[in-house]
Amino acid sequence: MTADENVMSAGESSVGAWLRSAREAAGLSEDAVAQQLKLAPRQVRAIEEDDYARLPGRTFVRGLVRNYARLVHLDADALLASLPDAAASPSLIAHQSTSMMYATGYLKISGSSSAIALISSMWGLR
């Protein structure tokens, strides 16, 4: 049995628990994992607690799980397959539209901001 099979079959039943167990077995702290993956420690805690609502969407969660699994030498594909699907876990898609808005650089202007933008464009003040 490989090291990742030991971690994944040791009675832990969630992706976050498997990642935490592998991290602890590797002697890594949450901060060390966060630094290696270029994340905030709160994001590492959220994934280890399977608290997907604190993360910015399904695509981010899948990428984080994949990279975290590689870091602690677990089978990334097996962990990804164990994630709940979007229909079963709405928190995996809760922030997706907001993340997409920032990723595309789209910013909705409303109220007085739109008036300022209109006047600025009319006067060439961009």
CATH of the domain at 82: 1.10.260.40
Which residue stretches of the chain have pLDDT < 70? 1-12, 86-126
Would you say 46 and 55 are in contact if contact means Cβ atoms under 8 Å apart? yes
DSSP code of 14? S
Residue 18, in any domain of the structure: yes
CA gap 37, 41 in Å, rounded: 10
For 53, the domain range is 3-94
Sign, Cα dihedral of 70, 21, 39, 88 = positive
In angstroms, the Cα distances linking 95 to 19, 39, 76, 80, 106 are 23, 17, 23, 19, 15
Residue 19, in any domain of the structure: yes
Residue 43, in any domain of the structure: yes
* pLDDT per position as a tens digit, 88-120: 555 555 444 444 444 444 444 444 555 555 555
Residue 81, in any domain of the structure: yes
Residue 104, in any domain of the structure: no
Would you say 3 and 73 are in contact if contact means Cβ atoms under 8 Å apart? yes
CA gap 56, 91 in Å, rounded: 9
- Report pLDDT for 13: 83
Residue 126, in any domain of the structure: no
What mean pLDDT is reported for the chain? 76
pTM: 0.63
Residue 117, in any domain of the structure: no
Structural domain total, the chain: 1
Spatial neighbors of 123 by CB under 8 A, at least 6 apart, are: none
Residue 102, in any domain of the structure: no
